[in-house]
Protein backbone atom coordinates (compact mmCIF):
# COMPACT_ATOMS: atom_id res chain seq x y z
CA UNK A 1 0.00 0.00 0.00
CA UNK A 2 1.23 3.47 -0.88
CA UNK A 3 2.17 5.02 2.47
CA UNK A 4 1.56 8.53 1.18
CA UNK A 5 -2.05 7.65 0.42
CA UNK A 6 -2.58 6.36 3.94
CA UNK A 7 -0.95 9.44 5.45
CA UNK A 8 -3.12 11.72 3.37
CA UNK A 9 -6.24 9.92 4.61
CA UNK A 10 -5.06 10.02 8.22
CA UNK A 11 -4.29 13.75 8.09
CA UNK A 12 -7.72 14.44 6.67
CA UNK A 13 -9.45 12.49 9.45
CA UNK A 14 -7.24 13.80 12.25
CA UNK A 15 -7.33 17.45 11.20
CA UNK A 16 -11.13 17.50 10.85
CA UNK A 17 -11.48 16.10 14.37
CA UNK A 18 -8.92 18.45 15.90
CA UNK A 19 -10.34 21.61 14.37
CA UNK A 20 -13.99 20.83 15.03
CA UNK A 21 -12.99 19.70 18.53
CA UNK A 22 -11.46 23.12 19.08
CA UNK A 23 -14.52 24.92 17.70
CA UNK A 24 -16.79 22.82 19.94
CA UNK A 25 -14.66 23.73 22.95
CA UNK A 26 -15.42 27.40 22.29
CA UNK A 27 -18.96 26.69 23.56
CA UNK A 28 -17.60 25.87 27.01
CA UNK A 29 -19.11 28.45 29.31
CA UNK A 30 -21.29 29.91 26.54
CA UNK A 31 -23.85 27.20 25.76
CA UNK A 32 -27.46 28.35 25.40
CA UNK A 33 -28.43 25.97 28.24
CA UNK A 34 -26.23 24.11 30.68
CA UNK A 35 -26.80 20.69 29.07
CA UNK A 36 -25.71 22.02 25.67
CA UNK A 37 -22.67 23.67 27.17
CA UNK A 38 -21.70 20.27 28.62
CA UNK A 39 -22.62 18.42 25.42
CA UNK A 40 -20.40 20.56 23.17
CA UNK A 41 -17.60 20.46 25.73
CA UNK A 42 -17.81 16.66 25.92
CA UNK A 43 -17.88 16.30 22.16
CA UNK A 44 -14.85 18.60 22.00
CA UNK A 45 -12.98 16.30 24.35
CA UNK A 46 -14.01 13.23 22.34
CA UNK A 47 -12.96 14.77 19.04
CA UNK A 48 -9.59 15.91 20.29
CA UNK A 49 -9.10 12.38 21.65
CA UNK A 50 -10.00 11.03 18.21
CA UNK A 51 -7.49 13.31 16.52
CA UNK A 52 -4.83 12.04 18.94
CA UNK A 53 -5.60 8.44 17.93
CA UNK A 54 -5.07 9.30 14.24
CA UNK A 55 -1.98 11.47 14.84
CA UNK A 56 -0.55 8.52 16.79
CA UNK A 57 -1.00 6.31 13.71
CA UNK A 58 0.78 9.00 11.68
CA UNK A 59 3.65 8.98 14.17
CA UNK A 60 3.93 5.21 13.70
CA UNK A 61 4.36 5.94 9.98
CA UNK A 62 7.27 8.27 10.70
CA UNK A 63 5.55 11.65 11.10
CA UNK A 64 6.35 13.95 14.04
CA UNK A 65 4.79 13.34 17.41
CA UNK A 66 1.12 14.29 17.87
CA UNK A 67 1.63 17.56 19.79
CA UNK A 68 4.13 18.80 17.24
CA UNK A 69 1.85 17.90 14.36
CA UNK A 70 -1.17 19.49 16.03
CA UNK A 71 0.44 22.69 17.27
CA UNK A 72 3.27 23.67 14.95
CA UNK A 73 1.83 23.48 11.45
CA UNK A 74 0.45 26.45 9.61
CA UNK A 75 -2.96 26.64 7.93
CA UNK A 76 -1.62 25.59 4.51
CA UNK A 77 -0.40 22.32 6.04
CA UNK A 78 -3.83 21.37 7.38
CA UNK A 79 -6.12 18.97 5.50
CA UNK A 80 -9.42 19.66 7.25
CA UNK A 81 -12.54 20.65 5.35
CA UNK A 82 -13.58 24.31 5.46
CA UNK A 83 -16.80 23.32 7.22
CA UNK A 84 -15.05 22.57 10.51
CA UNK A 85 -12.94 25.74 10.59
CA UNK A 86 -15.79 28.23 10.15
CA UNK A 87 -16.54 30.28 13.27
CA UNK A 88 -19.26 28.90 15.56
CA UNK A 89 -21.74 31.63 14.70
CA UNK A 90 -25.03 31.43 16.55
CA UNK A 91 -26.09 28.17 18.15
CA UNK A 92 -28.23 27.27 15.12
CA UNK A 93 -25.16 27.30 12.87
CA UNK A 94 -23.09 25.19 15.27
CA UNK A 95 -25.93 22.71 15.58
CA UNK A 96 -26.39 22.41 11.81
CA UNK A 97 -22.64 21.98 11.29
CA UNK A 98 -22.56 19.32 14.03
CA UNK A 99 -25.48 17.52 12.35
CA UNK A 100 -23.93 17.62 8.86
CA UNK A 101 -20.43 16.76 10.01
CA UNK A 102 -21.08 13.97 12.51
CA UNK A 103 -23.51 12.16 10.24
CA UNK A 104 -20.70 12.01 7.67
CA UNK A 105 -18.03 11.11 10.18
CA UNK A 106 -19.84 8.09 11.56
CA UNK A 107 -20.21 6.70 8.01
CA UNK A 108 -16.48 7.19 7.48
CA UNK A 109 -15.71 5.36 10.71
CA UNK A 110 -18.17 2.57 9.91
CA UNK A 111 -16.54 2.07 6.51
CA UNK A 112 -13.02 2.38 7.86
CA UNK A 113 -13.75 -0.22 10.55
CA UNK A 114 -13.83 -2.66 7.59
CA UNK A 115 -10.59 -1.27 6.17
CA UNK A 116 -7.91 -3.53 4.77
CA UNK A 117 -5.41 -1.28 6.55
CA UNK A 118 -5.59 -2.81 9.99
CA UNK A 119 -4.32 0.07 12.19
CA UNK A 120 -7.06 2.36 10.82
CA UNK A 121 -9.68 -0.39 11.12
CA UNK A 122 -8.91 -0.82 14.83
CA UNK A 123 -9.11 2.88 15.64
CA UNK A 124 -12.27 3.37 13.55
CA UNK A 125 -13.96 0.42 15.27
CA UNK A 126 -13.37 2.13 18.58
CA UNK A 127 -14.38 5.62 17.52
CA UNK A 128 -17.59 4.76 15.69
CA UNK A 129 -19.11 3.76 19.04
CA UNK A 130 -18.31 7.16 20.53
CA UNK A 131 -19.53 9.15 17.53
CA UNK A 132 -22.93 7.43 17.84
CA UNK A 133 -23.60 9.65 20.81
CA UNK A 134 -22.71 12.75 18.78
CA UNK A 135 -25.04 11.73 15.96
CA UNK A 136 -27.82 10.89 18.37
CA UNK A 137 -27.40 14.29 20.01
CA UNK A 138 -27.44 16.20 16.70
CA UNK A 139 -30.37 14.27 15.22
CA UNK A 140 -32.47 14.70 18.37
CA UNK A 141 -32.02 18.48 18.43
CA UNK A 142 -32.58 18.89 14.69
CA UNK A 143 -35.83 16.91 14.98
CA UNK A 144 -36.97 18.88 18.03
CA UNK A 145 -36.02 22.38 16.92
CA UNK A 146 -36.64 21.81 13.21
CA UNK A 147 -40.32 21.35 13.87
CA UNK A 148 -40.78 23.85 16.70
CA UNK A 149 -41.20 27.62 16.48
CA UNK A 150 -41.12 29.74 13.35
CA UNK A 151 -37.94 31.46 14.51
CA UNK A 152 -36.14 28.16 15.20
CA UNK A 153 -37.13 26.77 11.79
CA UNK A 154 -36.11 29.95 9.94
CA UNK A 155 -32.77 30.12 11.71
CA UNK A 156 -31.97 26.45 11.14
CA UNK A 157 -33.02 26.68 7.46
CA UNK A 158 -30.81 29.69 6.94
CA UNK A 159 -27.85 27.94 8.58
CA UNK A 160 -28.49 24.79 6.57
CA UNK A 161 -28.41 26.81 3.34
CA UNK A 162 -25.23 28.58 4.43
CA UNK A 163 -23.44 25.40 5.55
CA UNK A 164 -24.34 23.17 2.60
CA UNK A 165 -21.64 24.31 0.11
CA UNK A 166 -19.04 23.65 2.82
CA UNK A 167 -20.62 20.34 3.86
CA UNK A 168 -20.53 19.04 0.28
CA UNK A 169 -16.79 19.80 0.19
CA UNK A 170 -16.20 17.35 3.07
CA UNK A 171 -16.24 14.77 0.27
CA UNK A 172 -13.50 16.38 -1.80
CA UNK A 173 -11.50 13.54 -3.28
CA UNK A 174 -7.82 13.09 -2.58
CA UNK A 175 -5.19 12.45 -5.23
CA UNK A 176 -5.07 8.89 -3.98
CA UNK A 177 -8.80 8.24 -4.12
CA UNK A 178 -8.82 5.34 -6.59
CA UNK A 179 -5.76 3.78 -5.06
CA UNK A 180 -7.39 3.71 -1.61
CA UNK A 181 -10.58 2.21 -3.01
CA UNK A 182 -8.71 -0.42 -5.04
CA UNK A 183 -6.69 -1.43 -1.99
CA UNK A 184 -9.84 -1.85 0.09
CA UNK A 185 -8.85 0.88 2.53
CA UNK A 186 -12.34 2.34 2.29
CA UNK A 187 -15.17 2.73 -0.19
CA UNK A 188 -14.27 6.31 -1.16
CA UNK A 189 -15.80 9.76 -0.88
CA UNK A 190 -18.65 9.18 -3.37
CA UNK A 191 -19.85 6.23 -1.32
CA UNK A 192 -19.63 8.18 1.95
CA UNK A 193 -21.53 11.09 0.40
CA UNK A 194 -24.33 8.91 -1.01
CA UNK A 195 -24.96 7.27 2.35
CA UNK A 196 -24.70 10.65 4.13
CA UNK A 197 -27.37 12.15 1.90
CA UNK A 198 -29.71 9.30 2.71
CA UNK A 199 -29.23 9.69 6.43
CA UNK A 200 -29.51 13.47 6.69
CA UNK A 201 -32.52 13.42 4.36
CA UNK A 202 -34.24 10.90 6.66
CA UNK A 203 -33.85 13.27 9.62
CA UNK A 204 -34.75 16.44 7.72
CA UNK A 205 -37.94 14.81 6.42
CA UNK A 206 -39.17 14.59 9.99
CA UNK A 207 -38.91 18.38 10.37
CA UNK A 208 -40.19 21.53 8.65
CA UNK A 209 -36.75 22.07 7.11
CA UNK A 210 -35.94 21.61 3.42
CA UNK A 211 -32.77 20.20 1.99
CA UNK A 212 -31.45 22.80 -0.51
CA UNK A 213 -31.27 21.73 -4.16
CA UNK A 214 -27.81 20.19 -4.16
CA UNK A 215 -27.44 20.24 -7.97
CA UNK A 216 -27.22 24.04 -7.94
CA UNK A 217 -24.62 24.28 -5.18
CA UNK A 218 -20.92 24.70 -5.89
CA UNK A 219 -18.96 22.94 -3.10
CA UNK A 220 -16.27 25.02 -1.38
CA UNK A 221 -13.35 22.77 -2.21
CA UNK A 222 -9.69 23.25 -1.31
CA UNK A 223 -9.48 22.31 2.36
CA UNK A 224 -8.14 18.82 1.71
CA UNK A 225 -5.28 20.38 -0.27
CA UNK A 226 -4.24 22.99 2.28
CA UNK A 227 -6.24 25.93 0.90
CA UNK A 228 -8.25 27.43 3.72
CA UNK A 229 -10.55 30.26 4.67
CA UNK A 230 -9.26 33.28 6.59
CA UNK A 231 -10.66 31.69 9.77
CA UNK A 232 -8.21 28.81 10.15
CA UNK A 233 -4.90 30.57 10.88
CA UNK A 234 -6.26 32.69 13.79
CA UNK A 235 -7.80 29.52 15.24
CA UNK A 236 -4.46 27.69 14.98
CA UNK A 237 -2.62 30.63 16.56
CA UNK A 238 -4.97 30.58 19.51
CA UNK A 239 -4.89 26.80 19.81
CA UNK A 240 -1.10 26.70 19.89
CA UNK A 241 -0.56 29.77 22.06
CA UNK A 242 0.32 27.88 25.25
CA UNK A 243 2.27 25.15 23.48
CA UNK A 244 4.44 27.69 21.69
CA UNK A 245 5.46 29.46 24.91
CA UNK A 246 7.61 26.42 25.69
CA UNK A 247 7.37 23.52 23.21
CA UNK A 248 9.74 21.39 25.32
CA UNK A 249 7.78 21.76 28.56
CA UNK A 250 6.97 18.56 30.46
CA UNK A 251 3.28 18.36 31.42
Residues forming the site for other proteins (CB under 8 A): 35, 38-39, 41-43, 45-50, 52-53, 122-123, 125-127, 129-130, 132-133, 136-137
Nearer to other proteins, 82 or 128 (CB): 128
CB of 178 to other proteins, least distance (A): 28
* 1/24 Cα distance (integer angstroms): 35
Q: Which lies closer to other proteins via its Cβ, residue 22 or residue 224?
A: 22
Please state the closest distance from residue 44 (CB atom) to other proteins, in A: 9
- Between 132 and 193, name the residue whose CB sits nearer to other proteins: 132
Render the burial of 16-46: b for 16+ CB within 10 Å, e for the rest. bbbbbbbbbbbbeeebeeeebeebbbebbeb
| Minimum distance from residue 41 beta carbon to other proteins (Å) | 8
Q: Which is nearer to other proteins, 28 or 158 (CB)?
A: 28
**Cβ(28)–Cβ(40) under 8 Å?**
yes
Task: Please state the closest distance from residue 134 (CB atom) to other proteins, in A.
Answer: 9
Q: Are 183 and 3 in contact (CB under 8 A)?
A: no
**Cβ 18 vs Cβ 80: under 8 Å:** yes
Q: For other proteins, which is the closer residue by CB, 135 or 170?
A: 135
Task: CB nearer to other proteins: give 127 or 164.
Answer: 127
CB of 143 to other proteins, least distance (A): 11
Smallest distance from other proteins to CB 54, Å:
10
Amino acid sequence: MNEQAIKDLLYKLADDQLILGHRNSEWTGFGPILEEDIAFSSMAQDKIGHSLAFYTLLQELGEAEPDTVAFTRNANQFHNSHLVELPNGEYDFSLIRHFLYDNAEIIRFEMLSQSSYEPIAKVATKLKGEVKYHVLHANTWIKNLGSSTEEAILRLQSSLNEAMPYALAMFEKSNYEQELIDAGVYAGEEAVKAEWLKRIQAVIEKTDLKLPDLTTIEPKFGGRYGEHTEHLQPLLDEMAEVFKIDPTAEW
